[in-house]
A and B are shown apart, each in its own frame.
Chain A
Amino acid sequence: MELLERFAAGDLEAFEALFRAHQKEVYAWVVRIVRDSGIAEDLTVETFWRIYKSRARFHPAGNFRAWARRIATNAALDHLRTARREIELPEDLASPGAADPAVSHETREQIKQAFFQLSAKYRLVATLALIEEEPYDEIAEAVGISAALVKVRVFRAVRILRKKLHSLGAEVGAK
């Protein structure tokens, strides 16, 4: 019996094999969204817990990777909805040497403030599309919406961010 068939039938060894094969990829996707390694680890486990619980609904001929990514995205989105306040990006996760001296520390703080005020669904697409530069069709597949709707959400997120930055007094458009 194939691995996916055994997993769908409830075989724990098959689940472990899938877990070990996909945990890094799921973590890498989730950490891009939540931007905290500890939370991303917990959400990776939560993702696989959801996967295990819904194994009977998985069709062995289906794409496990895409299915896992969709569930991981939902788990991350649930976290963004419930998390009261965004935790600062730990230094170990930040790409070094990215700071542009033309953008002041104050402006960066205002951008962060505006960004973390976005609702979960806009923050999700803004993170993936604008910060991580993931292709729209990949975001669409992970979120379970069309690429056109992803584009609309990115557009709205940008508009909201621009308004918030103006209200915070940031010099947007002057650069």
Chain B
Amino acid sequence: MSNEENNKEIKELLQQALAPLKDPELRRDLWPQMLRKLDEQPARVPWFDWALAAILSAVLLLFPGVIPALLYHL
């Protein structure tokens, strides 16, 4: 059986079991839900920013000599 025939047969069987959705329509405006989601999200700091801050703090504690050099470059 060729690929095309193979696909066609399975396609027909699939369409019998799971009918294609012809022009599905959205029945309500989702903007109010979107606004709720926007309001719910607190201003979160990503975990990698915390990790970076922790690494930087550790470096400054372990090597306080770099602080003047760091301040000079800032």
Q: Which residues of A contact B (CB under 8 A)?
A: 16, 19-20, 23-24, 27-28, 31-32, 35, 37, 40-41, 44-45, 48-49, 52, 89, 93-95, 98-100, 103, 107-109, 111-112, 115, 126-127, 130-133, 154-155, 158, 161-162, 165, 172-173, 175
Contacts and interface: CB of A to CB of B under 8 A. Distances in A.
Contacts of B24: 27-28, 31-32, 37, 40, 93
Interface in B4-43: 6-7, 9-11, 13-31, 33-34, 37-38, 41
B10 A161 contact: yes
B21 A115 contact: no
A175 to B, nearest CB: 7
Given A19-B34, A52-B38, A27 B20 contact: no
A93 B16 contact: no
Contact of A115 (B6, B18, B41): B18
Given A20-B31, A130-B10, A31 B15 contact: no
